[in-house]
Amino acid sequence: MKKKVVLIIVLIIIVVGAIGTYIFLQNNETKNTELENKMATASREYFEKYVSANDSVNVYKITLQDLEDANKKGEEYDLKGLEKCDKNKTFANVTINYKDGTAKKTQVELKC
């Protein structure tokens, strides 16, 4: 009888632990997606204001440091939540559309 009670308690602890881990990972993934979206939006805007599309490069790397420097000069990029990220290793690669010189695609790499 005692073995069954102990077994049930152990199973309950395992199930609760698994559910807790799943919820934690889902919340963490959602937070990363939000931060990636902020970085992508700010990088596209930065690209359109500060980068010449006449260069022969088809991908531009815009670091978090670039965006923070632009904010110090008067821009208002929303970088909340990115404070703990590495300033030079957190970046966005912005691919340009050669037809009109605008940002076509953004790939974000977070190092937080």
Cα maximum dimension of the chain:
79
Compute φ and ψ for 30, nearest 5 degrees: -65, -40
In the numeric block, the tokens 């605008």 are attached to 102
3-class secondary structure, 49: helix
- The pTM score is 0.63
In this predicted structure, what is the pLDDT of residue 53?
54
* Mean pLDDT across the chain: 85
Say what the alpha-carbon torsion angle 45, 46, 47, 49 is, to the nearest 10 degrees: 90
Q: What is the pLDDT of residues 23-64, one digit of tens each?
A: 888 877 777 888 888 888 888 888 878 776 555 567 889 999
CA-to-CA distance for 96 and 106, rounded, in angstroms? Answer: 9
